[in-house]
Chain A
């Protein structure tokens, strides 16, 4: 009888990565708002404060700018902080430290320091939290040289990418979709890493490449399942890293399928899909395209409160199905 692979939720997988890192390295510690006795707004840190104490699971005041700066300063001077933003939206309060300090310090000092800080950002819509607690701001940070920006889509990758981020000497920004926290999936025990900067082909196909990020990977896979019944063979790429972007995997896929659909939750204009599209337009895959590139991104609006309006703001499975059918059949 084969042993069933162990399953953990996405949140549990993140917590396990933090536990492993903290057990292995005294310098690793957690900072954030209400991550101690409260357990974090999404219970990612849970009861870790009881295990590691308040010095290593540090509640901060509601001071995102200062807190992020403290994490940067600690990282530069020998610690390995993991800073949790309560919501990714609150990155806006800390942009100075993220963009001007963390991202640029190594460069400005000619390589004299590195900034091994990890920042975690619960992101995305679907919780009814409206416009200031539902954004997908990964493209903002993806625009900044010096940062690495990742969006793990599965529990396996959430753990492996966090462990890779902790090992990384440079600042790594992790965007975690809030609707994924409860999703379960196989997660190996012990320490392993998922490389930053490497996309993953989640499903192979011949007719169309869908490049998706975060929760959209699952919507793309669901759509691909349906499309298979219609004779459309979809390749789904989980981009996983926004910066540095894995050009090779996407270019090779589009050369094979000749069609590209980008699906992402952030606002469509100037978003992650815009960069993926431009990357293909500039590449050797361009000559292989049989149809214009299509982007499905977030609507040009803040995230509304009403649940039907909220759903309409970001791509849903029927949107992916429609776009895929148009792309494949329209070109035939």
Chain B
């Protein structure tokens, strides 16, 4: 990460700018920052609501992984589709979901994206192409390949991004799905967000290869490693993978190396990693701090603008929580709705 900080400190406008700044204007760069803050604040807000007993069940927070979700979704249109994971709040927001309806879902309300039937682990926004988070590790990977098959057959120009974690790369579904995507040359981008622990088990202990991107070679597709905490690196890899997919050149596997600050879920006692390790990531490799430093070093935004972006995101979060609180709860008489499609 020394590399990243050095770059942030020395990059000058116009002179070998990192990818992100060559391809996106100031508005888009600010929008990306806004989304990163929105994700961070959403999850902090959700966590607080959980602690206060307003949200039940469990949740898997992606705090610390915001650059990965936002960077990957940057080259996507609203028509492009994603499949997400149990740690999927960031993906959902990055793909354009409204935080109010996400909070409403977590509160189990009818105004939630899943009408209170799904909760955090099944959050989805099909209208923006998010086919859903998934409670099963690796469960969304074959589904993403199926969505990509549809796109190819229907010739609708869509591409599909399939998010999953390092844990999923040891599921059979991962291997079966990557193989099929490759033999059929489907427009799909596989994104492994490697936060280094599948629950408590480190990738060193769980995975035979050093880098998960190496597994791409088994399926004859490019495997790309990026620093998942550096927005520009993530966006650049995603841009190229999306280009390949749209051009009919087939799938790509991106390994986005990142870190989650919080435990796996609400039951995590954090016995498998040190406080020093966590604090090092938070202090030196925070994706939002890195991006803000870069934006300032390049003279693109001022601290005042950054403060305004964060304040606007905080306002949207506060309004979202209020919306969720005030929304109606489902009635038990409707329990069996949505199991099957109701006759028109």
Q: Please list the residues of chain A having a beta carbon within 8 angstroms of any beta carbon in chain B.
A: 27, 29, 55, 60-61, 63, 65-79, 81, 96-97, 100-101, 105-114, 145-146, 148, 169-170
Decide if B141 touches A69 in the complex (CB within 8 Å): yes
Q: Mark each residue of chain B from 128 to 169: 1 if its CB lies under 8 Å from any CB of chain A, else 0.
A: 000110111001011111111111011000000000000000
**Please, which residue of chain A has its CB at the minimum distance from the CB of B138?**
A96
Q: How far is the CB of A97 from chain B (nearest CB, A)?
A: 6
A65 CB contacts on chain B under 8 angstroms: 142, 172-173, 176
Q: How far is the CB of B181 from chain A (nearest CB, A)?
A: 9
B126 CB contacts on chain A under 8 angstroms: 109, 112-113
**Please, which residue of chain B has its CB at the minimum distance from the CB of A168?**
B341
Closest 4 CB pairs of A and B: A73-B146, A69-B142, A66-B176, A110-B115
Residue B114 interfacial (CB < 8 Å): yes
Since A97-B142, A110-B118 are in contact, a sample of 4 more A-B pairs with Cβ atoms closer than 8 Å, ordered by chain A residue number, is A63-B176, A69-B177, A79-B146, A170-B340
Decide if A66 touches B180 in the complex (CB within 8 Å): yes
Q: Please list the residues of chain B having a beta carbon within 8 angstroms of any beta carbon in chain A.
A: 81, 83, 112-118, 122, 124, 126, 131-132, 134-136, 139, 141-151, 153-154, 172-173, 175-177, 179-180, 183, 337-341
Q: How far is the CB of A29 from chain B (nearest CB, A)?
A: 7
Decide if B149 touches A66 in the complex (CB within 8 Å): no
Count contacts between A and B, CB distance < 8 Å: 147
Q: How far does the alpha carbon of A72 sit from the alpha carbon of B142 in the complex, in Å?
A: 8
Decide if B147 touches A76 in the complex (CB within 8 Å): yes
A105 CB contacts on chain B under 8 angstroms: 132
Decide if B176 touches A67 in the complex (CB within 8 Å): yes
* Contact status of A107 and B173, CB under 8 A, knowing A66-B179, A75-B146: no
Q: How far is the CB of B207 from chain A (nearest CB, A)?
A: 19
Q: How far does the alpha carbon of A109 sit from the alpha carbon of B115 in the complex, in Å?
A: 8
Q: How far is the CB of A28 from chain B (nearest CB, A)?
A: 11
Q: How far is the CB of A68 from chain B (nearest CB, A)?
A: 7
Decide if A110 touches B132 in the complex (CB within 8 Å): no
Decide if A110 touches B112 in the complex (CB within 8 Å): yes
Decide if A112 touches B341 in the complex (CB within 8 Å): no
Q: How far does the alpha carbon of A109 sit from the alpha carbon of B112 in the complex, in Å?
A: 10
A67 CB contacts on chain B under 8 angstroms: 142, 176, 180
Decide if B146 touches A146 in the complex (CB within 8 Å): no
Decide if B146 touches A100 in the complex (CB within 8 Å): no
A108 CB contacts on chain B under 8 angstroms: 114, 117-118, 122, 124, 132
A66, A81, A146: the one contacting B177 at CB < 8 Å is A66
A146 CB contacts on chain B under 8 angstroms: 339-340
* Contact status of A169 and B341, CB under 8 A, knowing A63-B180, A77-B150, A79-B153: yes
B81 CB contacts on chain A under 8 angstroms: 77
